[in-house]
Amino acid sequence: MNKLPPVPPVLPESMSLVESPPANIDALVAPLMAARAESPIVVPTRAADLAARIPRDLPADGAPLDELLAGLEDLLLAHSRRNTHPGFFGYIASGGLPIDALANAMVGALNQNVVGYPSSPAAATIERAVLRWLANLVGYDEGADGVFLGGGSSANLTAMAAAASHQFGPDYRARGIVSAAGGKRPVVLCSKATHFSVQRAAALLGIGSDQVVAVETDAQFRLRPDALESALEREECVVCVVGSAGTTNTGAIDPLKEMAAICARHDTWFHIDAAYGGGALLSPELAPLFDGIAAADSVTMDLHKWFYNPIDSSVVLFRDPKYARSVFYETSDYVAFPPDGPPEQHMFFHLGPDLSRRFRALPAYIAFAHYGRDRLGRNVLHNVECARYLADLARYHDDLELVTAPELSIVTFRYRPKRGDVSMTDARVDDINREIRARVESEADYLLSPTTVNGRPVLRACIINHATRASHIEGLVSRVREIGVELSG
């Protein structure tokens, strides 16, 4: 007869993780939310100074929660970049919405692993609803599908993997890129202004970053359709063409309709990176700028950019999802679901690389359902109006120079000392503009990103903050001119 095994010893109460949730969540979150729009936007500090405030080794004994949180609040309030600040023009980073803390608290409390419907019925249903709303914005029909991912880089990678399946056939997954290409050189075509995530995706897919071929652009940094046609005729193995619906540096929109028609003639996958610009589809006045997007085979949109959603919330949409399924579909003894089963068997990992997935769609669902398309779209349009106002001010003042006018909400300009001073060489003007940007950032009421256009430094303002108003644009311009006068003597 088998002997009954011993019962595990009782876990000491001091070691149990089962406890009531903190009662002071609101009190902790409130000051963090309140500080999001306060100056300074960012405090310059040494990494070593911050690291010194964090335990070097994993603590063996825990600290009292109140004590721990008090120290964290002090650290985070002082040394977090405040993207919600109305003077934050530095990068394509959403400031988020007032409801974000609520939405993310619900995500944490529910702790859903949204692999698919069987693992989280409510979360999967909500995610598919948001994906349907976004597909409708793009203009896709009911056969479209998509998946939430962590960022635009993952979304572009996922789309390009589906494009490879379209180019090489369903056995591409098993054979790999070298065998599938059959000795030909697989390439990806896009403009030089396209986001560098395309090169990274090409490297990860085995295409090679050197095989991302830059197609010529016009004076506004938009891909030239005639140059694309020539490239497609010249290259014998094009995995996909990538168009930009809002480039990172200047916000340029490629000629999407013409590109879609060219790709259709060549039976080539057309992917649109609308990670930044996709939010403009919420505005009826701006949506026509994206004419042709419905003809794309796939579209990337980052909701944590111009949809004002919190990080991380990106989507990739497929006009025909079968090519994504041919790459990502997997089955096993413990996960056996058909690729085209009923909704109750839907699996998100059939369309993208993630298996375990947090409930990313909930903040988006709450934002869309609470604010509605009209209200969100009007804020997006106001951002564009502010960008146009900044461009007009740059044209108006004779000591400013507009470098690129906004197609969306990115403006590049520079300070240009009044003509007539022969000592003001281009090199000296470049130095002044670098110093202006650095001074503006150090004063902490405005933040501009460092970049170059046509090889020269510019002042770049990216306006995707729902808190930004015309007065903040005026304040920025005034301060740039004041510093410029001081530096130019």
Most confident of 101-115, 224-238, 338-352: 224-238
What is the pLDDT confidence band of residue 52, given thresholds at 50, 70 and 90?
very high
Does the pLDDT at position 327 exceed 80? yes
Residue 174 included in any domain: yes
Residue 307 structure tokens: 């949809």
Q: What is the mean pLDDT of residues 346-350?
A: 94
Mean pLDDT of 389-397: 97
Q: Which carries the bigger pLDDT value, residue 106 or residue 38?
A: 106
Residues 433, 414 contacting (CB under 8 angstroms): yes
Q: Is residue 213 assigned to a domain?
A: yes
**Is 226 among the domain residues?**
yes
Band (421; pLDDT cuts 50, 70, 90): low
- Report if residue 221 sits inside a domain: yes
pLDDT > 90? residue 152: yes
The pLDDT, as a whole number, for residue 489 is 79
Res 336: pLDDT: 80
Parent domain of 211: 113-357
**Residue 398: pLDDT over 80:** yes
Residue 130, in any domain of the structure: yes
What's the pTM value of the predicted model, to 2 decimals?
Answer: 0.94
pLDDT tens digits along 117-137: 999 999 999 999 999 999 999
Question: What pLDDT was estimated at residue 419?
Answer: 66
Residue 276 pLDDT exceeds 80: yes
**Weakest mean pLDDT among 17-31, 78-92, 200-214:** 17-31
Q: What is the 3-state secondary structure (H, E, C) of the chain?
A: CCCCCCCCCCCCHHHCCCCCCCCCHHHHHHHHHHHHHCCCCCCCCCHHHHHCCCCCCCCCCCCCHHHHHHHHHHHHHHCCCCCCCCCECCCCCCCCCCCHHHHHHHHHHHCCCCCECCCCHHHHHHHHHHHHHHHHHHCCCCCCEEEEECCHHHHHHHHHHHHHHHHHCCCHHHHHHHHHHCCCCCEEEEECCCCCHHHHHHHHCCCCHHHEEEECECCCCCECHHHHHHHHHHCCCEEEEEEEECCCCCCCECCHHHHHHHHHHCCCCEEEECCCHHHHHHCCCCHHHHCCHHHCCEEEEECCCCCCCCCCCEEEEECCCHHHHHHHCCCCCCCCCCCCCCHHHCEHHHCCCCCCCCCCHHHHHHHHHHHHHHHHHHHHHHHHHHHHHHHHHHHHCCCEEEEECCCCCEEEEEECCCCCCCCCCHHHHHHHHHHHHHHHHHHCCCECEEEEECCEEEEEEECCCCCCCHHHHHHHHHHHHHHHHHHHC
pLDDT score for 486: 95
Identify the pLDDT of residue 25: 77
pLDDT band at 35 (very low <50, low <70, confident <90, very high): confident
**C-alpha–C-alpha distance, residues 157 and 154, integer Å:** 5
**Higher-pLDDT residue of 339, 214:** 214
Query: What does the pLDDT read at residue 420?
Result: 59
On the question of a cis peptide bond just before residue 49, with omega within 30 degrees of 0, the verdict is: no
CATH of the domain at 225: 3.40.640.10
Asked if pLDDT for residue 422 goes beyond 70, the answer is no
User: How many C-beta atoms lie closer than 10 Å to residue 101's C-beta?
Assistant: 19
Q: What is the mean pLDDT of the chain?
A: 93
Model confidence pLDDT, tens digit, residues 242-266: 999 999 999 999 999 999 999 999 9
The predicted pLDDT at position 93 comes to: 87
Q: Tens of pLDDT along 464-482?
A: 999 999 999 999 999 999 9
DSSP β-ladder status, 410-415 and 456-462: antiparallel
User: Residue 54: inside a domain, yes or no?
Assistant: no
Predicted local distance difference test score (pLDDT) of residue 39: 87
pLDDT band at 332 (very low <50, low <70, confident <90, very high): confident
The answer to the question of residue 346 being in a domain is: yes
CA–centroid distance for 27 within its chain? 30
**pLDDT-derived band at 68, boundaries 50, 70, 90:** confident
- Percentage, residues of the chain above pLDDT 90: 76
pLDDT at 250: 96
Res 339: pLDDT: 82
Q: pLDDT band for position 64 (50/70/90)?
A: confident
Residue 452 backbone phi and psi in degrees, to 5: -130, 150
Q: What is the CA radius of gyration of the chain?
A: 25
How many separate domains does the chain show?
1
- Can you tell me the distance from the alpha carbon of 207 to that of 205, in angstroms, rounded to the nearest whole number? 6
Q: Are 44 and 78 in contact (CB under 8 A)?
A: no
Using a pLDDT cut of 70, give the percent of the chain over it: 99
20, amino acid identity: S
Q: State both tokens at 21.
A: 């949730």
- Report the pLDDT value the prediction gives residue 239, as an integer from 0 to 100: 97
The answer to the question of residue 283 being in a domain is: yes
